[in-house]
Amino acid sequence: MKLLHLVARPLIGSIFLTAGVQVLRSPEPPAGAAEALLAKVRGALPAFPEDDVAVVRANAAVHVVAGGLLALGKAPRLAALALAVSLVPTMLAAHSFWEYDEQGERDSHRLEFAKDAAVLGGLLAVISDARHLARERVWREKARNLRRRQILSNAPSALRRRVDTPH
């Protein structure tokens, strides 16, 4: 694994961990911010849950679990996908800058929206890193071959012939 992955994944995951824990502790303000968006979703999906606080808590739980997995490097592509899918409605609900008339508020929400979009870009980079598993497999195979050569170079010649010949 590259050094950048060791640093980048925990940094991206930590923002979701901290934000998710904060929302789980106090879900009412984010639920109020999400009310208009959730009403639109319910218009399109009648089976969508009615309780705004429960929906916000579920989203926060996804952020905590997937953020933790990403930070630890466990199933990073799946964790990043879950975070990306849950981040888009969060961005739309919390930072819909186009709905504000006052310039200061509009600019503030536009900046937060842009930050979330940048984080989304980082998540997409993690999702698209399909080669990371192939790189790790190649690295492990090289390490195994090196260990085999080191062990065989120290083994008696009769044992080396026995190991090198097919059975």
Residue 11 Cα distances to 18, 38, 130, 155, angstroms:
11, 29, 20, 46
Are 87 and 66 a contacting pair, CB within 8 Å? no
pLDDT for residue 155 is more than 80: no
pLDDT at 5: 75
Are 129 and 70 a contacting pair, CB within 8 Å? no
Are 75 and 49 a contacting pair, CB within 8 Å? no
pTM over the 0.85 mark: no
pLDDT for 55-68, tens place per residue? 999 999 999 999 99
Q: Comparing 11-25, 54-68, 92-106, 128-142, which segment has the lowest mean pLDDT?
A: 128-142
Question: What share of the chain has pLDDT > 70, as a percent?
Answer: 87
Report the distance separating Cα 17 and Cα 7, nearest Å: 16
Boundaries of every domain in the chain:
3-129, 131-167
Q: Pick 50 or 148 by higher pLDDT.
A: 50
